[in-house]
Amino acid sequence: MREDTIIVTDFARPRANYPHARRAGAFLFVSGLSSRRADDTLAGVTRTPDGQVIRDIAEQTEAVIENLRTVLRAAGADLDHLVDVTVFLVNMADYAAFNAVYDRYFSATTGPTRTTVAVRELPHPDLLIEIKAVALVDSTPD
């Protein structure tokens, strides 16, 4: 594995051939992350006995941010190193509930810049959100 490549073990593996993150100088570029767990289940998705699927944007958002924290920590960083995030929402009707969780983690004065866009769909039909990020970290690998 290349020295600048971050692949987190005991974590949801990427669904194609790309790393969780790649270091470029003092920057860390984190691939898009969802609420997928290491066992391939999704946080924020409940299936009822009658077959109904309940998707919870708040729970998915928290799981995505915690997954982001996991990848950052594997690279020797944390959420406070983020400089920019791009958020992909399947439904802009979820924007307020997403923001309520996001605002628990970040402030306008110390958090990263952010772009939020609506997308038609994500790689799994139960996903409501994906986040990709850029962090500024020490340029020497741990």
Residues 29-56 pLDDT 10s? 999 999 999 999 999 999 999 999 999 9
142 found inside a domain: no
**Alpha carbon distance 105, 20 (integer Å):** 21
What is the Cα–Cα distance from 139 to 13, expressed in whole angstroms?
25
81 within 8 A of 70, measured Cβ to Cβ = no
pLDDT at 139 over 80: no
In-domain check, residue 30:
yes
42 within some domain: yes
The boundaries of the domain holding residue 36 are 5-136
Q: Is residue 120 one of the residues assigned to a domain? A: yes
The structure's pTM equals 0.93
| Cα 8 off chain centre by | 13
Q: Is residue 44 in some structural domain?
A: yes
The pLDDT score that the predictor gives to residue 142 is: 46
* Residue 108: per-residue pLDDT: 94
Which pLDDT tens digit goes with each residue over 73-118?
Answer: 999 999 999 999 999 999 999 999 999 999 999 999 999 999 999 9
Residue 119 pLDDT exceeds 60: yes
Number of domains in the chain: 1
pLDDT value for 132? 98
Looking at the domain assignment, is residue 129 inside a domain? yes
Residue 84 resides in a domain: yes
Whether pLDDT at 26 is above 90: yes
pLDDT confidence band for 1 (50 / 70 / 90): low
In a domain, 141, yes or no: no
Where does residue 43 rank: exposed (0-12), middle (13-18), buried (19+ CB within 10 A)?
middle
CATH code of the domain covering residue 50 = 3.30.1330.40
Indicate if the pLDDT at residue 3 is higher than 90.
no
